[in-house]
Amino acid sequence: MADVLKSWALRFCLVFFIVLFVLVCSSSSEKNKNTKKDKAAKSKEKIGKNILDYTEADMERLLDQWDDNEDDDDEKYDDDDPRKPKPQMPAFDPSKVKDDPMAFVKMAKKGKTLMMFVSIANNPSRKRTEDVTARWQTSLHNAHLQVERYIVADDRALFLLKDGSIAWDVKDFIITQPECKMVEFENQKFPGVGGKPSDTLKEKSEL
């Protein structure tokens, strides 16, 4: 009888340890599954939600991430990299401008962006303004005066100059064109050939 009880006790202990082992393994497996789910969720959160659900802020963050990646890849070619040595500007020599105030003004605008507004005479259509200013832009480019052109109204265009020192050369060319009514930049106005006749008639009518 004692042997039977001893045998049953051993079996009970064996079954108990087997069940305990199975429970431990199951718990470990479940924990691993949860860990994988957490990683997947974090990965999804990092990558982003459905593109259709993106807000403007999400898009801005995404663009910032892309910009950061591009900066890492093209760091040594990035002109905006603050670590890139800045080009040395020529030393200011007063003797070169003492007899030419305009040269001093041009030097002050060297390398700075400048906006120039041009008005077209005779109430043109937008298409007419587009054609005229495109022709001017081509002529300026042929003279090595680089400008960007934008139509801002039916009779008005914006010329964007990356180097403000060429503004006066650009202005001198445009005001001689028969379609030019007015050139404006730096709070200054310069009447064009196309604007002078109408201005003269206006003055006579006022008299």
**Confidence check: pLDDT of 10 > 60:** yes
12-20 mean pLDDT: 66
Global pTM?
A: 0.49
Average pLDDT estimate for 111-129: 94
Domain count of the fold of the chain:
1
Q: Which residue has the tokens 């934008």?
A: 150
Structural domain includes residue 63: no
Q: What is the pLDDT of residues 139-192, one digit of tens each?
A: 999 999 999 999 999 999 999 999 999 999 999 999 999 999 999 998 999 999
Q: What is the mean pLDDT of the chain?
A: 74
Tell me: pLDDT of 74 over 60: no
Q: Give the span between the Cα atoms of 88 and 71, in whole angstroms.
A: 24
Percent of residues, the chain, with pLDDT higher than 70: 45
More confident residue, 107 or 6: 107
CA atoms within 13 A on the CB side of 203: 6
Q: How does pLDDT run across 102-118, given as a tens digit for each residue?
A: 676 777 788 899 999 99
- The enclosing domain of 182 has a CATH number of 3.30.70.260
- Give the model's confidence band at 46: pLDDT under 50 very low, under 70 low, under 90 confident, else very high: very low
**Residue 94 domain-assigned (yes or no):** no
Alpha-helix residue ranges (DSSP H) falling in 48-159: 56-73, 101-108, 126-142
- Whether 119 maps to a domain, the answer reads yes
Residue 199 lies in a domain: no
Instruction: Please compute the mean of the pLDDT values over residues 27-55 and round it to a whole number.
Output: 56
143, part of any domain? yes
Would you say residue 52 lies in a domain? no
Asked if residue 172 belongs to a domain, the reply is yes
Is a pLDDT exceeding 70 seen at residue 101? no
Range of the domain at 170: 111-191
Sign of CA dihedral 137, 139, 141, 145: negative
**Residue 3 pLDDT level (bands cut at 50, 70, 90):** low
| pLDDT attached to residue 2 | 59
Mean pLDDT, rounded, for 117-130: 95
The residue with greater pLDDT, 161 or 60, is 161
Q: Report d(CA 199, CA 207) in Å as an integer.
A: 13
Q: Is residue 62 part of a domain?
A: no
